[in-house]
Amino acid sequence: MAEGAVDTQTEVMTINIGPHHPATHGVLRLVVDLEGEVVRDLRPVIGYVHTGIEKSCEQHSYWKVIPFVERMDYVSYFFQMEAFCGAVERLVGLEIPPRARYLRTIFLELCRIHSHLVWLGTTALDLGAVSMLWYCFRDRDRVLDLFEMATGQRMHTRYFQVGGVIEDVPPGFEAKAREFVAEMPVRVKQYQALLDRNEVFLSRTKGTGIVPRERLLDLGVTGPLLRAAGEPWDLRKAFDYLAYPELDFKVPVGTVGDNYDRYRVRVAEMVESTRIVEQALDALPEGPHIADDRKYVLPPRSELSTSMESLIHHFKLVTEGYRVDPGELYYSIESPRGELGCFVLADGSSKPARVHFRDASFVNLQAFRAMSVGGYVADMIASLGMLDPILGGVDR
């Protein structure tokens, strides 16, 4: 090439994707360096939906924090509640009754199915399988119906409380939940039949976005992304929390670690979740749904007109809230996106001094560069869908 001549073949062009774009699954901005169609570098820019939830939590008494944390990862809200309530319960040393453990497990697993359905519908939509969105959201609606039946709300239910759950499930819930979990595996088979023979879907997911398992671990990736690379790491199996040690379920893993494996792992997890819900419904113990400790748990409504003691407790809990002795604790659970950790620092007052959420989407997003660099733009969009970030959780 002559001196001073411009190389027109290998020009690197920097383009901006987002922050408002349907394929970014939220308000995510990507600054991508492209050489033709090939991604040479990539930088995610986040923070567009940062609302300072962690700061807001410090201004409210413990029981008022629960609705705040739910709104971080708005697709898996039950998990945020469990992470926070579980951390506070461990700080104050409160044991939750067996029925509450099982009810929480049931709602967490229904929420996992809900989250994976939202992911499957939107990601398949990105990859050209438009009809999947309507099928997935049809079934998601049935999960939301169950949530509404038990809690009165379809999203952001404030159902988990420190000490248990706010009220028992209504009559008829069990039958409806059983009907749903019996049907869900059939639905999942139908979805697999639609996608596993979809030539476009297969060629866009197979062999794309591969990151070696060691690299994923270095980057702190957890959840289905890590399991798709063949690492059977699941906090439900590793740590002892809620009713999981008493239930029989498998941890699906992939082999190659490409986008197709990520899809397979999540779809298999939905079926495992239905098994967990079914077993938990079978084994659902009778008894109270919330701990009987008046220092932390509201007294039953019926006692308020007859017992002065209950009235005083009710008044104290609603106005000031309960105080938590100084201490700090990190509690983590397996959310649909990986390790969801909650750090609570108590300073002896009725408000937490610090609430920090280790959000799985936030940490997993670091692997996006490794998944995309060297591939085509189209594969990058497929990888982003399979990464399944929820930007409300990333930005908090």
Q: By the 8 A CB rule, do 221 and 368 touch?
A: no
Per-residue DSSP letter, 95? P
- How far lies 379's CA from each of 25, 204, 226, 259, 375, in Å? 15, 7, 19, 9, 6
Regarding 217 and contact with another protein (CB under 8 A), the answer is yes
Q: What part of residues 330-359 is at the interface with another protein (CB under 8 A)?
A: 330, 332, 339, 341, 343, 345, 353-354, 356, 358
The nearest distance, CB 345 to another protein, in angstroms, is: 5
- Among residues 100, 150, 195, 363, which is the contact residue for another protein, using CB under 8 A? 363
Q: If binding is defined by CB under 8 A, does position 185 make contact with another protein?
A: no
8 A C-beta contact, residue 277 and residue 78: no
d(CA 20, CA 201): 24
Residue 74 touches another protein, criterion: CB under 8 A: no
Among 21, 29, 40, 50, binds another protein (CB under 8 A): 50
By beta-carbon proximity to another protein, the closer residue of 134 and 330 is 330
The C-alpha atoms of residue 118 and residue 26 are separated, in whole angstroms, by 13
Min dist. Cβ of residue 194 to another protein (A): 36
| Residue with the two structure tokens 């671990």 | 217
Q: Helix, strand, or coil here: 19?
A: coil
Start-to-end Cα distance in the chain: 51
202 binds another protein per the rule CB under 8 A: no
Asked if residue 19 lies in contact with residue 395, where contact means CB atoms within 8 angstroms, the answer is no
Select the span of 144-152, 219-227, 252-260, 298-306 touching another protein (CB under 8 A).
219-227
User: According to CB under 8 A, which one of 69, 83, 91, 271 is a site residue for another protein?
Assistant: 91
Burial class from Cβ neighbours inside 10 Å (0-12, 13-18, 19+) for residue 67 reads middle
131 contributes a contact to another protein by CB under 8 A: no
Binding site for another protein (CB under 8 A): 46-47, 50, 52, 54-56, 58-59, 90-91, 93, 217-221, 233, 238-239, 327-330, 332, 339, 341, 343, 345, 353-354, 356, 358, 362-363, 365-366, 395-396
